[in-house]
Amino acid sequence: MSLIGNIIWLIFGGFLTALGYILGGLSLCLTIIGIPFGWQSIKLGFAVLTPFGREVVEYPDANSPLLLIFNVIWLLLFGWPLVLNHLFWALILAVTIIGIPFAKQHMKLIILSLLPFGRDLR
């Protein structure tokens, strides 16, 4: 069932969303300061490709001081627009019964787009 969900996800916007995350990450990697943030954006892009059948995993060192600082910077600069985007689409998709599984995937991606350092989708 996750294969069918991922295929439908890719056709109806998942591929373009992933492409946006990856291209944004590549542009962030053009500066030395932006490399950690670009890498997280690229990681999010690959996570957005196939969200069905995967869960958010928190690494043991997810709350280390360095990752906490990176998460705060990410949250202030990049996280809020991404969260609002996923929340908007989750609310729109939750209106119909067919869209509820896709809304759940957007809700799962909110966690990653809010605090990506120390977390992954596996």
Q: In angstroms, rounded to a whole number, what is the distance separating the alpha carbons of residues 100 and 32?
A: 40
Structural domain count of the chain: 1
In this structure, are residues 121 and 57 in contact, taking their beta carbons and an 8 Å threshold?
yes
Kindly give the parts of the chain with pLDDT less than 50: none
pLDDT, tens digit (0-9, with 9 covering 90-100), for 8-41 = 999 999 999 999 999 999 999 999 999 999 999 9
Q: pTM value?
A: 0.91
Q: Quick one: pLDDT at residue 1? A: 82
Both tokens of 92, joined, read 């729109």
Q: Give the residue numbers spanning the domain of 24.
A: 2-121
